[in-house]
Structure 1
Amino acid sequence: MTNYAVILAAGKGTRMKSDLPKVLHKVAGISMLEHVFRSVAAIAPEKTVTVVGHKAELVEQVLAGQTEFVRQTEQLGTGHAVMMAEPVLEGLAGQTLVIAGDTPLITGESLKNLIDFHVNHKNVATILTAEAENPFGYGRIVRNQQEEVIKIVEQKDASDFEKQIKEINTGTYIFDNARLFEALKNINTNNAQGEYYITDVIGIFRENGEKVGAYTLKDFDESLGVNDRVALATAEGIMRRRINQAHMVNGVSFVNPETTYIDVDVHIEPEVQIEANVTLKGQTKIGAGSVLTNGTYIVDSVIGEQTVITNSMIEESTVADGVTVGPYAHVRPDSSLAKNVHVGNFVEVKGSSIGENTKAGHLTYIGNSEVGANVNFGAGTITVNYDGQHKFKTVIGNNVFVGSNSTIIAPVELGDNSLVGAGSTITKDVPADAIALGRGRQINKEEYAKRLPHHPDNK
């Protein structure tokens, strides 16, 4: 049969205390809505409808071109939200998943199991449930002797016996699509909140003698719905443990996985060693055999094999095989380091390409530069790329030696095999094979030091 999905993403999320729609708050690098959408993809829905409302334009941008959108201009409850999907789904044969956009931990595997259970048991509706150690505050699942669901009872309405039930409603459901929208026409707002509840259709199905079942999650953590920042942090912690465990199973070593923060889309090859307090964000890729030491922070970058990144930051850049970076280096966006480059302590690279085997050991700034192979930067070298209004480019050829404390003022080009004397200020192009000296002239004043108060002869 055909599957459909309705994702509820219209709420503001008042308890988040945020201008951002609740479903757009991020867990492990992507929004909660994207997590839900990816899990929903596991059931291969023919149509996915996302119900938007609060700041709908922002929500639509996240899933643009991937789902149909309907708008709930007034937030009148979960039942009302699903009603908004009626123009897209009414009358279609198949089953429809209804899931909240603030449940980022539900896995695609669990949703596939829910669908299979629903179809195999020929239910008109199936509720995804979980076993809670402390069920206080949750809607309880009341079953009959045939394990069919009789009703969902909320905490405030539960009897003393019903309050002892540990099986709770997660807010995720599968319905026969046609019957869902027929039943929604019969629910009302006769409740304390004055809202249309999706759970009311369960009672309608039972009154008609139709079969309602429940499928219980194996892992209670998947049921978490995020309503505030505390729950958001809980979801983040659970998701990161999942991510790190998956990497360890794939052959990545962690010194302390509890203090390592890896976004969901990061790819890491086997035999990588990751020390504590490492953060890997966005679309980062780490090559096999690399070592990331304590304090390393990498965003949207590709790191080659057998690299060593020591307590450094790399952003939106490419690092080839065998490169060593750090400690305390900063590779800023749009930079590329070729094979076996060494960028040492307190070196900053920005918007530059650096050729194979080039070394900048310490205290150097390389900005808006095209650097060849086998170049050596002495300590304290600066490429001066900005005049206060415009950026300019420095081009450095192969096998160039730049002496310590040199200032290279762009636009300028240093030819192959050239040498810049230590302490030089370079403002003109240096031809290949030339030596450039741009120092001020040294003058020694004999015996003048004796005139100074601090000289030993004056004490």
Structure 2
Amino acid sequence: MTDPQLAVVILAAGQGTRMKSRTPKVLHRLGGVPLVGHVLHTAQELGAQHTVTVVRHERERVSAAIMEMAPETIIAEQDDIPGTGRAMEAGLEALPNDFEGQIVVLSGDVPLLDAATVGMLLDAHRTNQNELTLLSAFYDDPTGFGRVVRDDAGAFDSIVEQKDASEEQRKITEINSGVYVFDAAAARRVLPSLGTDNAQGEKYLTDAAHVIRGEGGRIEAIGIDDTWLVQGINDRVQLGETALEYNRRLIRYWQRQGVTVHDPASTIIERGVSIGQDVELLPGTQLRGATTIAAGAIIGPDTTLVDCEVGEDAVVKRTDATLSVIGARATVGPWSYLRPNSIVGEDGKIGTFVETKNSTIGNGSKVPHLSYIGDTTVGEGSNVGAGTITANYDGVNKHKTTVGNHVRTGSHNVFVAPVTIGDGAYTGAGTTVRKDIPAGALAITVAQQRNIEGWVVENRPGTAAAEAAARAEEGHTDAGTGNLS
């Protein structure tokens, strides 16, 4: 449900120089999703009527990514005046003039903050009729963070930045997380009064609390102990550490949904993945993108699936697959490579050292070993022999191979596309198929074998092969006379 009295402003204007990257900080990926994508998802779960994202650094690139993920988002651009206070002003100006509800302020580089925690903050804000409510967190080591100062009764008093804090205030372990709920009227009243008279020459959003407090407005700070929820990303170290924590939490979620994860430390699951009950994930499994795994499937070990669909009770091991569909009870691997648009039907098989691309393997059909199958359709119940190659590319265009139902092809075949193999047909070992095979026919391309006796002894004298051949010939001669040595 959409809440008409709720707006979310996401601050995503920072450059993120400590990332040392050509990619804007908020577009670095965590759990398969850009950092700002996690925050946009939280805004959607809150049901906000309006979501505004404030951009500045590489605004075109960041804006395009946001529009792709959440096209309903309003993009606001921060001008050259720096600081979170100025960013919030830009976000406020993008909201309808008649909006008088609550504004949740989130940071585009804080990916783990969930809608439940923000919802708790919003409920407290509304229940207690605050003008400003901020989320705080308790850190064992709060160095570098602004401290939340409380009065003798435990109520919010002020926010003191690290550089301005006294020795006593630096001992405070409650920090300001940068997550706020403003009443829109209070924000419109206070933000224009914020100045840049500070060491950084920036408009600080934290100064809004000082102004509201001075006017007698009600402010509340609500603390949480789970510091990961407010962990911001400033460099690659924090990105890596937060990604590990996110993955750990996601794995625990799926375990509680009935998924067995044999080695959580070596398993990666991204945000868009869906997994059914009684699925087993073996060590070294990576499930990425929009992959879906149906109930009872076994995935891994050492398997990466990207945007794949796996049916019930399928087994996929030591496989790399992208944009592919694996049917119920099918088996894939080990050491299989499924390139985009590969489809394996129910009870089908893709075996060891098989590569497929843009191909459909019908129900119950098998490609067991050492084959390349590209731009091919295989019908039901067929078996493609070991070492088969579909020669689908003529140097300019790709061509299609069609294999019918219940076909049996021999080992080391080459299908020179375009070619069709009819239902129930057979091919002999070593066959090169250059023209269509009728249903029920046997195709062979076998030249008469020719043996040139004595060739090795004559042409490779002194080699181990020549010596072995000579001994064999000598033994054969002796056996013919009955005088075995």
TM-score category, normalised to shorter length: over 0.9
In 1, the alpha carbon distance for the partners of 2:93 and 2:140 equals 40
Question: What letter corresponds to residue 324 of structure 1 in structure 2?
Answer: T
- Is 1:50 aligned to 2:58, yes or no? no
Contact 1:147 1:213 (8 Å CA) reproduced = no
Give the superposition deviation at 1:283: 0.2
- Is 1:192 aligned to 2:190, yes or no? no
Q: Deviations over 1:418-438 (max 9, x none)?
A: 111100111111111111112
- Is 1:149 aligned to 2:156, yes or no? yes
Partner of 1:21: 24
- Is 1:8 aligned to 2:15, yes or no? no
Partner of 1:370: 377
- Is 1:161 aligned to 2:168, yes or no? yes
Partner of 1:125: 132
In 2, the alpha carbon distance for the partners of 1:13 and 1:439 equals 67
* Matching residue within 455, 466, 469 for 1:455: 466
SS of the equivalent of 2:8 reads strand
Partner of 2:87: 81
In 1, the alpha carbon distance for the partners of 2:265 and 2:252 equals 10
Partner of 1:225: 232
In 1, the alpha carbon distance for the partners of 2:198 and 2:85 equals 13
Partner of 1:238: 245
In 2, the alpha carbon distance for the partners of 1:35 and 1:235 equals 13
Question: What letter corresponds to residue 84 of structure 1 in structure 2?
Answer: A
In 2, the alpha carbon distance for the partners of 1:301 and 1:273 equals 16
Give the superposition deviation at 1:191: 0.5
Instruction: Output the aligned Cα RMSD.
Output: 1.4
- Is 1:423 aligned to 2:430, yes or no? yes
Give the superposition deviation at 1:63: 2.8
Give the superposition deviation at 1:445: 2.3
1:186-335 superposed matches below 5 A: 186-335=193-342
Paired residues, number = 459
Ranges of 4+ aligned residues in structure 1 off by more than 6 Å:
none
In 2, the alpha carbon distance for the partners of 1:75 and 1:16 equals 22
- Is 1:39 aligned to 2:46, yes or no? no
Give the superposition deviation at 1:44: 1.7
Contact 1:91 1:177 (8 Å CA) reproduced = no
Q: Deviations over 1:207-237 (max 9, x none)?
A: 1111111111241110100011111111101
Question: What letter corresponds to residue 63 of structure 1 in structure 2?
Answer: I
Give the superposition deviation at 1:159: 0.7
Give the superposition deviation at 1:273: 0.7
* TM-score, structure 2 normalization: 0.92
Give the superposition deviation at 1:439: 2.8
Give the superposition deviation at 1:292: 1.1
* Matching residue within 342, 346, 350 for 1:339: 346
SS of the equivalent of 2:187 reads helix
Q: Deviations over 1:297-346 (max 9, x none)?
A: 00001000111111111110111101000100011101111011111110
Gaps of 5+ in 1: none
Give the superposition deviation at 1:175: 0.8
Partner of 2:445: 438
Give the superposition deviation at 1:449: 4.1
Give the superposition deviation at 1:147: 3.0
Instruction: Pick the structure with greater CA Rg.
Output: 2
Partner of 1:390: 397
Give the superposition deviation at 1:447: 4.1
Question: What letter corresponds to residue 60 of structure 1 in structure 2?
Answer: S
* TM-score, structure 1 normalization: 0.97
Q: Which moved more, 1:351-360 or 1:73-82?
A: 73-82
Give the superposition deviation at 1:75: 5.6
Contact 1:127 1:214 (8 Å CA) reproduced = yes
Taking every aligned residue pair, what percent have the same amino acid on both sides?
Answer: 38
In 2, the alpha carbon distance for the partners of 1:6 and 1:441 equals 79
- Is 1:180 aligned to 2:187, yes or no? yes
Contact 1:91 1:178 (8 Å CA) reproduced = no
Give the superposition deviation at 1:458: 5.6
Contact 1:95 1:176 (8 Å CA) reproduced = yes
